[in-house]
Amino acid sequence: MDVGKFIVDQALILVPVLYIIGMFLKNTPKIKDWTIPYILLVCGILGAIAIMGLSASAVIQGILVAGTTVFTNQLIKQTREKEE
């Protein structure tokens, strides 16, 4: 599946940005791991709205980039655990 068909080029920059935010959140002791995807979801939606303007499409793009970020993180995490 080609993610590029679903996420517009404007919003694609949010994936690495959200990934970095997620890494910082993961290293913050007061933030529980289970809250990180929700925080990234809100950040993704707000980021997409900031880039694309307030619209349903921007909200959907924010959800898609947050999902892609969390999925990418899980792929990396599972690959590392499998190798160990």
Exposure letters 13-31 (e unless 16+ CB within 10 A, then b): ebbeebbebbeebeeeeee
Please give the DSSP secondary-structure letter assigned to residue 30.
T
- How far is residue 54's CA from residue 70's CA, in Å, rounded to a whole number? 23
Summarised one tens digit per residue, pLDDT across range 19-70 is 999 999 999 999 999 999 999 999 999 999 999 999 999 999 999 999 999 9
At how many degrees (to 10) do helices 36-52 and 14-26 cross? Answer: 150
Task: Give the CA angle between residues 5, 76, 41 to the nearest 5°.
Answer: 55
Which pTM value belongs to this model? 0.87
